[in-house]
Each structure stands twice: as structure tokens, then as C-alpha cells.
Structure 1
């Protein structure tokens, strides 16, 4: 039996005791059990931060692509148009928070002018993708729990506390991150190889040998870094290639399947639907209409 997606969202105005906290725009939790639409959108005056708790997500911001994995946080700045890659988000579990630009809010989380300016500089200068400690998930859960609670004593104070705690964890993570860039570089190189030759089928053993690790060690490191297995990652890259071909050409779906190394169009359609959320035919019709 398939499990349905789960969603929980707080939006400013939903809680009478938090109306004054207008700088806190939204908080959300999503567990996507299947590929799900997540289309182009923009927050004109707000920062959005998405923590990937499980899985991996490909994003597009102003035409640029970004790959994020579990235990990473993805950020967009005010006015940036963004979406999930090809308007579909992969199976994953995420937390997301939207807060107003501190420069536009004189009482931003009750911070003094100098403190607010420091946070403004930090938010502007931090990288788009930050590797964070798993403990940040607890802060998101606490924030959700107190918003849902019927106990409202010091509610606004508690909400401010946990939001600032999340932001401070980002500051610490961006300063102390010690993740090795080697596996990230290898992942990018692997994607380029698959894009150049989509029919290429590489085993985990072959990849591990190339990287200089045992097969089990490589599999663990790759999955920890990217949130998915090497095989699933390569298949996802092939599906991105398929989307580009479907969008940019009139090549038949059978020929696309063969060009991508699938033995049958049925197998290709099954894999495509798993990662993109619909059949290749339906996806082409929707995006070319």
C-alpha cells in the first residue's frame, strides 16, 4: 500500500497569538513519498530556507541548477525566482521556513538595530547550500510543536527563540563545515559523464574503484553525501536528460528510451514516472501545450 504525502503548514495570520510576529511568514513540513509538482515561485521580500531531512532535491534558481542532499539547507534570497528541477520535487522529507528581510522590518524578532544589521549581513553573505548538523531538525520540530500546542504562555517569545536558534545554527555550520569536497566533485563529474553518455551503466563496484574506496564504503559515503544511492542518482540524471529531450525535440518516446539505454519504452516510462511523477507522454503534453 502506498503512503500519501504528508504536509503541515503554518502561515502568518493562522494563529491569533502570533499576529504581531509579522516577520515570521511561514513554516512548513513536507514528506513526499513520490515525485510531486513544485513549480516556479518567488518571495519578493522574504528569505526562504529549506532543510532536507531525508532524500535529495534538485533546484533551479534563475536558471541555475543546484543539487542538495540530506542534512543540507538550501536558501533563496528575496526576489529570486526558484523551483524544483523541471517543476517536480523528488521523494524526500523537508522542513522550510520563510522570514522577512530584516532590512525591511524595524522590529525583526525584537533584535536591536546593530544585531538586526549583523543578521542582515549574515543572511546576504551565507552560501546558497549549507551542510548542517542533524540537531537543526529538532529545532524545527520544537517550533511546530509549540505552534500546535494549546498552551500559549510566552508563545511569541518561544517562537522567536527557536527561529533565532535555527539561524544561529546556520551561522555556526557555515563557519565550521568540514565536509570533504572530494565526493561532491566526484558527484558533479559523474553527472557530467552520464549527461554526455546516457546509455552508460556503471556499477557501484566500478564507481568505488574509480574513487579508490571499497564498494561498501563508497556506497555509504555516496548515500550520506547525496541522500540517495549511486544507482538512483544516475537514474535521476538520466531522467533530467529525458526531460530536456522531451521538451526540446519531437523525438518519439520509444527512440528516447533507446537513446537513454533502456531496452523498452515501458521500462523507461516506469522509471520516468517514479522520478518525475507522470509518464513521459503526459509530461511532454503538459510542457509543450
Structure 2
């Protein structure tokens, strides 16, 4: 049976009422190792601890490695996949609107971020953004070590304050014309519409209506923002969804093609090979071989480790078990 391939809107309650932040440590043993495309009204930060991870946020693609961090604003459709089984990454998800009210010092800036009048930079690295990434680490560490709620709130505010202080943001009202501000504000709605409906045919007129633009002006605006025509962008997204499903699902290649919006399997195969450099079957086979090799390597290591009964090994095994349980 073909599964629903829409981008999922998450409505999960994060953390607890007193501390509404959720922390995730994710390795190959985690059920959500491959991140399905989804969106939520929460903000999310992600850091890569080991290996590499390919992440998509609306129109942007990031190839992330150890020491890189991403800030995902609310409403952005995002998803991706680890590039190998060695990847380890962590996420923190939180509702920015629960962190302030009109009486909170600095609430003006927080409200601008919440209303998307200020767009924070998405990608940061230890090499180029050291002051900012140190505050990201403080957020992750405070949640990882289950610090008290005021400590976690404080680390969050310090992170956002450092981003603002380092001017790692774009003020839409200052840098674009009035008409473009309106369209920028509607972009999340457009991407959510595309991702909620990509399994069926979507016309150019439908996409333009979402932005309240004529098809001609919409094409010009969309290409200026993404560098691609709307239909081209949509097809690339469909292919990326198919690539993730080829690795993580057991359906046939034709079933995956249909569920990702391709009505002609031959066209899908041709487009996929042009996009990934190999056919869908080769891509699935290659990914399976890599996974099997990784599992064999782990099995050999585990067998050898039976004879290593030092206290250091026992402590490491317990630590890995604790992380996998998070």
C-alpha cells in the first residue's frame, strides 16, 4: 500500500508546560534517523555531531558536517537524510511565542522574529560564527543535562540575542520593497501548499493563487528567490522525496514514483538519473550495500568487544544505551 507522502504538520506538545522545549539525540538506531519532510509552528535548531547530513528548508539545500548548525524558523517545511550510517545529529524544538509577552524585555525583537519580519540566517559554523555557535551549544547542553527551566530559558535568550548582536539576520522591511515584503511573508504558505499536494498534479495557476499573484509575475518572483522556475523546483523536491523513500521504504520503484507525483515511470527514471547520476534501482542498491557494510563492520566490532571487559568499555556502552533511549 502506498503511504501518504504529504509533508506532515506536526502538532506535538514540546517538553512540559513549565519547560516547553524538546531535545532529540538521533543516530542510526533512532526511528526518525531519516527526517521526513514536515513543518510545525515551532522553531528548531539542529547540530551535526558526526558524519554528514543533507537538509532541505523550503528553497534551500544544506550539506552539513560536524560543527555546523541550522536554525529553522516556524512554518518552514524541512526534511533530509544522513549521508551515511555514521551520522549523529541533535535537534531542539521550541515554541518561540511561549518565551515572551509584551512585558518581556527585548520582546520587540522576539516578536519580529516570530512574525517573520526579521529572517535569521539559517546556517552557522564553528569556524565562521564561533560566538553564535557557542550559544547553540549552551542550549543543547542545558537540555541534554536536564538543567532547570530558568537556565534553559536563559540559554535560549542568549542564543537569540547573540544572533541579533552579531547581525546574523535580514530585516525584510529594510532591505526589500513594500510589495516584496508582502510576498516574502506568504512564501511559507506557498511551500506548505506545494509540499502538501506534490503527490498530485499542481498547476502554475494554483501556486500563483497561493501568493495572490498573476502566473507571469509569480514565475519571475519565484525564480528571483530560488534561482529556479516553480515547476522545476517542484520536480526536484519530488525527486528528493523519492530518493529518501527508496532508502527508507519497501515499496516498488513504480509505487514510489506514483506517490511522489510522477505519472510516467519512464520519465521518473530518466529524471532521477539526471538528478542523482544513477537509476532509482542503482540508488537503492547502492544505499543498501552501504548499510549492510556498516552493519557488518559493527557486528565484527561487537564480536571482538566480547573479549574486552575493561571498565572503560562498560562505561562507553552504558553511555551509548542512554543516548539511544533519549
Q: TM-score, normalised by structure 2?
A: 0.42
User: Which TM-score applies when normalising by structure 1?
Assistant: 0.47
